[in-house]
Structure 1
Amino acid sequence: MKLIVGLGNPGREYAGTRHNAGFEWVDRLSQMLHAPLKPEARFHGLCTQIHQEDIDLWLLEPQTYMNRSGQSVAALCQFYKIQTDEMIVIHDELDLSPGIAKLKKGGGMGGHNGLKDIAVKLGTQDFWRLRIGIGHPGDRDAVVSYVLSQPRKEEAPLINEAIARSLEVWPLIAQGDCEAAMMKLHTKV
Protein backbone atom coordinates (compact mmCIF):
# COMPACT_ATOMS: atom_id res chain seq x y z
CA MET A 1 0.00 0.00 0.00
CA LYS A 2 1.14 3.50 -0.80
CA LEU A 3 -1.93 5.50 0.23
CA ILE A 4 -4.40 5.22 3.09
CA VAL A 5 -7.39 7.56 2.73
CA GLY A 6 -9.84 8.25 5.54
CA LEU A 7 -13.13 9.84 4.48
CA GLY A 8 -15.05 12.42 6.47
CA ASN A 9 -16.05 16.06 6.57
CA PRO A 10 -13.77 18.79 7.92
CA GLY A 11 -14.82 21.12 10.72
CA ARG A 12 -15.82 20.89 14.36
CA GLU A 13 -19.50 20.50 13.56
CA TYR A 14 -18.75 17.13 11.92
CA ALA A 15 -16.25 15.80 14.47
CA GLY A 16 -17.42 12.51 15.92
CA THR A 17 -20.27 12.05 13.44
CA ARG A 18 -20.97 8.68 11.82
CA HIS A 19 -19.77 10.01 8.45
CA ASN A 20 -16.32 10.72 9.93
CA ALA A 21 -15.47 7.11 10.80
CA GLY A 22 -12.74 7.16 8.13
CA PHE A 23 -11.14 10.26 9.65
CA GLU A 24 -11.23 8.58 13.08
CA TRP A 25 -9.47 5.48 11.71
CA VAL A 26 -6.70 7.50 10.05
CA ASP A 27 -6.33 9.73 13.14
CA ARG A 28 -5.75 6.66 15.30
CA LEU A 29 -3.29 5.18 12.82
CA SER A 30 -1.33 8.44 12.61
CA GLN A 31 -1.11 8.45 16.44
CA MET A 32 0.03 4.79 16.49
CA LEU A 33 2.75 5.58 13.94
CA HIS A 34 3.70 8.90 15.59
CA ALA A 35 3.07 10.64 12.26
CA PRO A 36 0.90 13.74 12.73
CA LEU A 37 -1.24 14.91 9.84
CA LYS A 38 -0.55 18.38 8.45
CA PRO A 39 -2.42 20.61 5.98
CA GLU A 40 -1.17 20.26 2.40
CA ALA A 41 -2.85 22.71 0.00
CA ARG A 42 -1.76 20.95 -3.20
CA PHE A 43 -3.56 17.78 -2.04
CA HIS A 44 -6.57 19.60 -0.54
CA GLY A 45 -6.23 17.71 2.70
CA LEU A 46 -4.43 16.76 5.85
CA CYS A 47 -1.67 14.28 5.16
CA THR A 48 1.63 12.82 6.21
CA GLN A 49 4.23 10.64 4.57
CA ILE A 50 5.54 7.73 6.58
CA HIS A 51 8.96 6.12 6.15
CA GLN A 52 9.33 3.43 8.83
CA GLU A 53 11.03 0.05 8.49
CA ASP A 54 9.05 -1.66 5.70
CA ILE A 55 6.44 1.13 5.50
CA ASP A 56 6.59 3.88 2.90
CA LEU A 57 3.19 5.43 2.38
CA TRP A 58 0.89 8.42 2.68
CA LEU A 59 -2.02 8.99 5.05
CA LEU A 60 -4.67 11.38 3.73
CA GLU A 61 -7.83 13.00 5.06
CA PRO A 62 -9.44 15.06 2.27
CA GLN A 63 -10.60 18.48 3.49
CA THR A 64 -12.85 19.04 0.47
CA TYR A 65 -16.01 17.70 2.16
CA MET A 66 -17.23 14.21 1.49
CA ASN A 67 -18.87 14.81 -1.89
CA ARG A 68 -15.59 16.11 -3.38
CA SER A 69 -13.16 13.63 -1.82
CA GLY A 70 -11.95 12.55 -5.25
CA GLN A 71 -10.32 15.93 -5.85
CA SER A 72 -7.93 15.35 -2.95
CA VAL A 73 -7.30 11.65 -3.65
CA ALA A 74 -6.70 12.20 -7.38
CA ALA A 75 -4.28 15.09 -6.71
CA LEU A 76 -2.08 12.95 -4.45
CA CYS A 77 -2.33 9.85 -6.66
CA GLN A 78 -1.40 11.78 -9.79
CA PHE A 79 1.50 13.63 -8.17
CA TYR A 80 3.07 10.49 -6.69
CA LYS A 81 1.94 8.11 -9.46
CA ILE A 82 -0.01 5.91 -7.03
CA GLN A 83 -2.13 3.25 -8.70
CA THR A 84 -5.63 2.38 -7.46
CA ASP A 85 -4.51 -1.09 -6.35
CA GLU A 86 -1.94 0.62 -4.10
CA MET A 87 -4.51 2.50 -2.03
CA ILE A 88 -7.24 1.78 0.46
CA VAL A 89 -10.17 4.04 1.37
CA ILE A 90 -11.62 3.85 4.89
CA HIS A 91 -15.24 4.99 5.15
CA ASP A 92 -18.50 4.68 7.03
CA GLU A 93 -20.92 2.02 5.77
CA LEU A 94 -24.70 2.21 6.14
CA ASP A 95 -25.17 -1.42 5.07
CA LEU A 96 -23.14 -2.78 8.00
CA SER A 97 -24.26 -2.71 11.62
CA PRO A 98 -22.25 -0.75 14.18
CA GLY A 99 -19.45 -3.01 15.41
CA ILE A 100 -18.79 -4.58 12.00
CA ALA A 101 -15.79 -3.76 9.80
CA LYS A 102 -15.29 -5.34 6.38
CA LEU A 103 -12.57 -5.12 3.79
CA LYS A 104 -13.26 -5.50 0.08
CA LYS A 105 -11.88 -4.56 -3.31
CA GLY A 106 -14.06 -2.85 -5.88
CA GLY A 107 -17.78 -3.27 -6.10
CA GLY A 108 -20.62 -0.80 -5.90
CA MET A 109 -20.62 2.53 -4.16
CA GLY A 110 -23.67 1.81 -1.98
CA GLY A 111 -24.83 5.41 -2.41
CA HIS A 112 -21.68 6.74 -0.70
CA ASN A 113 -20.96 10.10 -2.33
CA GLY A 114 -17.33 10.18 -1.20
CA LEU A 115 -16.64 6.83 -2.89
CA LYS A 116 -18.57 7.91 -5.99
CA ASP A 117 -16.46 11.05 -6.37
CA ILE A 118 -13.21 9.12 -5.91
CA ALA A 119 -14.30 6.56 -8.53
CA VAL A 120 -15.20 9.34 -10.99
CA LYS A 121 -11.92 11.22 -10.49
CA LEU A 122 -9.79 8.04 -10.71
CA GLY A 123 -11.83 6.52 -13.54
CA THR A 124 -12.38 3.23 -11.69
CA GLN A 125 -14.18 1.64 -8.76
CA ASP A 126 -11.49 -1.01 -8.45
CA PHE A 127 -9.77 0.02 -5.22
CA TRP A 128 -9.66 -1.44 -1.72
CA ARG A 129 -12.17 -0.19 0.84
CA LEU A 130 -12.32 -0.71 4.58
CA ARG A 131 -15.96 -0.26 5.54
CA ILE A 132 -16.80 0.72 9.12
CA GLY A 133 -20.40 -0.18 9.95
CA ILE A 134 -22.62 2.63 11.23
CA GLY A 135 -26.02 1.02 10.61
CA HIS A 136 -28.95 2.43 8.64
CA PRO A 137 -31.70 4.70 9.97
CA GLY A 138 -34.32 2.56 8.24
CA ASP A 139 -35.68 5.40 6.10
CA ARG A 140 -33.90 6.54 2.94
CA ASP A 141 -35.03 10.11 3.52
CA ALA A 142 -33.32 10.17 6.92
CA VAL A 143 -29.87 9.08 5.70
CA VAL A 144 -28.29 12.55 5.38
CA SER A 145 -29.21 13.69 8.88
CA TYR A 146 -28.30 10.23 10.24
CA VAL A 147 -24.74 10.14 8.85
CA LEU A 148 -24.12 13.75 9.85
CA SER A 149 -25.13 13.15 13.46
CA GLN A 150 -23.35 11.60 16.44
CA PRO A 151 -23.86 7.86 17.03
CA ARG A 152 -26.31 6.94 19.78
CA LYS A 153 -24.87 5.99 23.18
CA GLU A 154 -25.17 2.27 22.48
CA GLU A 155 -23.67 2.60 18.95
CA ALA A 156 -20.55 4.66 19.75
CA PRO A 157 -18.67 1.87 21.61
CA LEU A 158 -19.50 -0.60 18.84
CA ILE A 159 -18.17 1.73 16.13
CA ASN A 160 -15.05 2.34 18.22
CA GLU A 161 -14.57 -1.44 18.62
CA ALA A 162 -14.87 -1.93 14.85
CA ILE A 163 -12.23 0.74 14.27
CA ALA A 164 -9.92 -0.78 16.90
CA ARG A 165 -10.39 -4.33 15.55
CA SER A 166 -9.74 -3.22 11.97
CA LEU A 167 -6.58 -1.39 13.08
CA GLU A 168 -5.29 -4.75 14.33
CA VAL A 169 -4.95 -5.90 10.71
CA TRP A 170 -3.01 -2.76 9.84
CA PRO A 171 0.37 -4.59 9.56
CA LEU A 172 -1.09 -6.88 6.87
CA ILE A 173 -2.60 -3.91 5.02
CA ALA A 174 0.72 -2.04 5.18
CA GLN A 175 2.46 -5.05 3.58
CA GLY A 176 -0.14 -5.04 0.82
CA ASP A 177 -1.55 -8.38 1.94
CA CYS A 178 -5.16 -7.24 1.96
CA GLU A 179 -6.42 -10.77 1.29
CA ALA A 180 -4.88 -11.98 4.57
CA ALA A 181 -6.13 -8.85 6.34
CA MET A 182 -9.62 -9.53 5.00
CA MET A 183 -9.56 -13.15 6.18
CA LYS A 184 -8.39 -12.15 9.66
CA LEU A 185 -10.86 -9.26 9.95
CA HIS A 186 -13.83 -11.27 8.70
CA THR A 187 -13.13 -14.35 10.84
CA LYS A 188 -15.35 -14.42 13.90
CA VAL A 189 -13.56 -15.00 17.16
Structure 2
Amino acid sequence: MPVSLENPTLIDQINALLPQTQCGQCSFQGCRPYAEAIASGAADINQCPPGGDEGIRDLADLLGVPPKPLNAKFGIHKPASVAFIIEEDCIGCTKCIAACPVDAILGASKFMHTVIVSECTGCELCVAPCPVDCIVMQPAPPSNTARSRAQKSAQAKRRYDARCLRKEMEEAEKAERAKKKKLALLKMQAAKK
Protein backbone atom coordinates (compact mmCIF):
# COMPACT_ATOMS: atom_id res chain seq x y z
CA MET A 1 0.00 0.00 0.00
CA PRO A 2 1.59 3.33 -1.04
CA VAL A 3 2.20 5.83 1.71
CA SER A 4 1.21 9.44 1.22
CA LEU A 5 4.16 11.58 2.25
CA GLU A 6 1.85 14.50 3.02
CA ASN A 7 -0.38 12.57 5.41
CA PRO A 8 1.10 9.28 6.62
CA THR A 9 -1.16 7.22 8.84
CA LEU A 10 -0.21 6.41 12.41
CA ILE A 11 0.65 2.88 11.23
CA ASP A 12 2.96 4.32 8.55
CA GLN A 13 4.63 6.58 11.13
CA ILE A 14 5.16 3.68 13.54
CA ASN A 15 6.41 1.43 10.73
CA ALA A 16 8.90 4.12 9.66
CA LEU A 17 10.42 4.05 13.17
CA LEU A 18 10.90 0.26 13.15
CA PRO A 19 14.22 -1.19 11.90
CA GLN A 20 12.61 -3.11 9.00
CA THR A 21 14.56 -6.28 9.75
CA GLN A 22 11.33 -8.30 9.31
CA CYS A 23 12.85 -10.72 11.85
CA GLY A 24 9.62 -11.63 13.68
CA GLN A 25 11.20 -11.42 17.14
CA CYS A 26 8.31 -9.17 18.20
CA SER A 27 5.97 -12.16 17.58
CA PHE A 28 4.52 -10.61 14.42
CA GLN A 29 5.25 -11.53 10.80
CA GLY A 30 7.29 -8.41 10.11
CA CYS A 31 7.54 -4.75 10.95
CA ARG A 32 4.30 -3.58 9.34
CA PRO A 33 2.11 -6.12 11.20
CA TYR A 34 3.86 -5.10 14.43
CA ALA A 35 3.19 -1.42 13.61
CA GLU A 36 -0.48 -2.26 13.02
CA ALA A 37 -0.63 -4.08 16.36
CA ILE A 38 0.95 -1.15 18.19
CA ALA A 39 -1.48 1.29 16.55
CA SER A 40 -4.47 -0.86 17.52
CA GLY A 41 -3.23 -1.37 21.08
CA ALA A 42 -2.72 -5.13 20.60
CA ALA A 43 1.07 -4.89 21.12
CA ASP A 44 3.35 -2.84 23.31
CA ILE A 45 6.14 -0.53 22.11
CA ASN A 46 8.91 -2.60 23.73
CA GLN A 47 8.79 -5.82 21.70
CA CYS A 48 11.48 -5.04 19.06
CA PRO A 49 14.98 -6.19 20.05
CA PRO A 50 16.64 -4.86 16.85
CA GLY A 51 15.19 -1.39 17.55
CA GLY A 52 16.56 -1.42 21.09
CA ASP A 53 16.11 1.40 23.58
CA GLU A 54 16.44 4.06 20.89
CA GLY A 55 13.57 2.55 18.91
CA ILE A 56 11.42 2.28 22.03
CA ARG A 57 12.11 5.96 22.85
CA ASP A 58 11.18 7.01 19.32
CA LEU A 59 7.92 5.04 19.49
CA ALA A 60 7.13 6.46 22.95
CA ASP A 61 7.74 10.01 21.67
CA LEU A 62 5.50 9.44 18.67
CA LEU A 63 2.68 7.95 20.74
CA GLY A 64 3.05 10.31 23.70
CA VAL A 65 3.63 7.51 26.21
CA PRO A 66 6.51 6.95 28.60
CA PRO A 67 9.35 4.75 27.31
CA LYS A 68 9.91 1.41 28.99
CA PRO A 69 12.66 -1.20 28.92
CA LEU A 70 12.81 -3.79 26.16
CA ASN A 71 10.67 -6.79 27.10
CA ALA A 72 13.24 -9.61 27.45
CA LYS A 73 10.57 -12.13 26.46
CA PHE A 74 11.22 -11.04 22.86
CA GLY A 75 15.02 -11.12 23.04
CA ILE A 76 17.84 -8.73 23.77
CA HIS A 77 19.21 -5.83 21.78
CA LYS A 78 22.47 -6.80 20.08
CA PRO A 79 25.10 -4.79 18.24
CA ALA A 80 24.52 -4.54 14.49
CA SER A 81 25.49 -7.74 12.72
CA VAL A 82 25.38 -9.28 9.26
CA ALA A 83 25.20 -12.84 8.00
CA PHE A 84 28.35 -14.44 6.64
CA ILE A 85 28.36 -17.66 4.60
CA ILE A 86 31.35 -19.96 5.04
CA GLU A 87 31.66 -20.55 1.33
CA GLU A 88 33.59 -23.83 1.42
CA ASP A 89 30.81 -25.37 3.53
CA CYS A 90 27.89 -24.05 1.42
CA ILE A 91 26.09 -26.79 -0.55
CA GLY A 92 23.92 -24.41 -2.57
CA CYS A 93 20.60 -25.57 -1.13
CA THR A 94 19.01 -22.06 -1.53
CA LYS A 95 17.17 -22.30 1.80
CA CYS A 96 18.91 -19.14 3.01
CA ILE A 97 17.88 -17.28 -0.13
CA ALA A 98 14.24 -18.19 0.44
CA ALA A 99 14.45 -17.10 4.09
CA CYS A 100 16.05 -13.68 3.50
CA PRO A 101 13.33 -11.00 3.70
CA VAL A 102 15.41 -8.39 1.85
CA ASP A 103 17.03 -10.51 -0.90
CA ALA A 104 20.51 -9.90 0.51
CA ILE A 105 21.79 -13.38 -0.41
CA LEU A 106 22.95 -14.31 -3.89
CA GLY A 107 23.50 -17.76 -5.31
CA ALA A 108 21.95 -20.53 -7.33
CA SER A 109 20.96 -24.10 -6.64
CA LYS A 110 24.00 -26.34 -6.18
CA PHE A 111 26.35 -23.33 -6.23
CA MET A 112 27.95 -21.41 -3.39
CA HIS A 113 26.00 -18.47 -1.97
CA THR A 114 27.16 -15.13 -0.63
CA VAL A 115 25.66 -12.28 1.39
CA ILE A 116 25.47 -8.71 0.10
CA VAL A 117 26.78 -7.21 3.33
CA SER A 118 25.55 -3.69 2.60
CA GLU A 119 21.98 -5.02 2.22
CA CYS A 120 21.89 -7.50 5.13
CA THR A 121 19.71 -6.35 8.04
CA GLY A 122 21.10 -8.88 10.50
CA CYS A 123 17.68 -10.50 11.03
CA GLU A 124 19.25 -13.97 11.44
CA LEU A 125 16.37 -15.62 9.53
CA CYS A 126 18.84 -17.34 7.19
CA VAL A 127 20.73 -19.12 9.98
CA ALA A 128 18.17 -21.71 11.12
CA PRO A 129 17.20 -23.11 7.68
CA CYS A 130 20.83 -23.83 6.71
CA PRO A 131 21.23 -27.64 6.83
CA VAL A 132 25.04 -27.48 7.07
CA ASP A 133 25.37 -24.59 9.56
CA CYS A 134 27.54 -22.56 7.19
CA ILE A 135 25.95 -19.22 8.11
CA VAL A 136 27.29 -17.24 11.03
CA MET A 137 26.52 -13.76 12.27
CA GLN A 138 29.41 -11.31 12.41
CA PRO A 139 29.66 -7.70 13.58
CA ALA A 140 28.49 -5.32 10.88
CA PRO A 141 31.34 -3.53 9.13
CA PRO A 142 31.78 0.20 9.85
CA SER A 143 30.21 1.06 6.47
CA ASN A 144 26.96 -0.61 7.64
CA THR A 145 26.96 0.99 11.09
CA ALA A 146 27.84 4.49 9.85
CA ARG A 147 24.50 5.00 8.15
CA SER A 148 21.75 6.45 10.31
CA ARG A 149 19.02 4.21 11.66
CA ALA A 150 16.53 5.96 9.39
CA GLN A 151 18.68 5.38 6.30
CA LYS A 152 19.17 1.69 7.09
CA SER A 153 15.51 1.26 7.87
CA ALA A 154 14.39 2.99 4.65
CA GLN A 155 16.79 0.93 2.54
CA ALA A 156 15.67 -2.32 4.18
CA LYS A 157 12.01 -1.37 3.67
CA ARG A 158 12.60 -0.68 -0.04
CA ARG A 159 14.30 -4.07 -0.44
CA TYR A 160 11.57 -5.85 1.54
CA ASP A 161 8.82 -4.16 -0.49
CA ALA A 162 10.62 -5.06 -3.75
CA ARG A 163 10.91 -8.68 -2.62
CA CYS A 164 7.22 -8.80 -1.70
CA LEU A 165 6.28 -7.38 -5.11
CA ARG A 166 8.54 -9.92 -6.86
CA LYS A 167 7.00 -12.78 -4.85
CA GLU A 168 3.50 -11.52 -5.65
CA MET A 169 4.33 -11.41 -9.37
CA GLU A 170 5.85 -14.90 -9.22
CA GLU A 171 2.67 -16.24 -7.57
CA ALA A 172 0.48 -14.55 -10.20
CA GLU A 173 2.61 -16.01 -13.00
CA LYS A 174 2.47 -19.45 -11.37
CA ALA A 175 -1.32 -19.22 -11.08
CA GLU A 176 -1.57 -18.14 -14.73
CA ARG A 177 0.59 -21.10 -15.84
CA ALA A 178 -1.55 -23.48 -13.78
CA LYS A 179 -4.69 -22.00 -15.32
CA LYS A 180 -3.29 -22.44 -18.85
CA LYS A 181 -2.19 -25.99 -18.06
CA LYS A 182 -5.63 -26.85 -16.72
CA LEU A 183 -7.29 -25.30 -19.77
CA ALA A 184 -5.00 -27.27 -22.11
CA LEU A 185 -5.77 -30.47 -20.20
CA LEU A 186 -9.52 -29.80 -20.45
CA LYS A 187 -9.16 -29.21 -24.22
CA MET A 188 -7.25 -32.48 -24.60
CA GLN A 189 -9.90 -34.37 -22.64
CA ALA A 190 -12.66 -32.78 -24.71
CA ALA A 191 -10.86 -33.71 -27.96
CA LYS A 192 -10.67 -37.36 -26.86
CA LYS A 193 -14.43 -37.58 -26.41
TM range (shorter): under 0.3
Which structure is higher in RCO with an 8 Å CA cutoff and minimum separation 6?
Answer: 1
Query: Based on CA coordinates, which of the two structures has the bigger radius of gyration?
Result: 2
TM-score by length of 2: 0.27
**Greater share of strand residues, 1 or 2?**
1
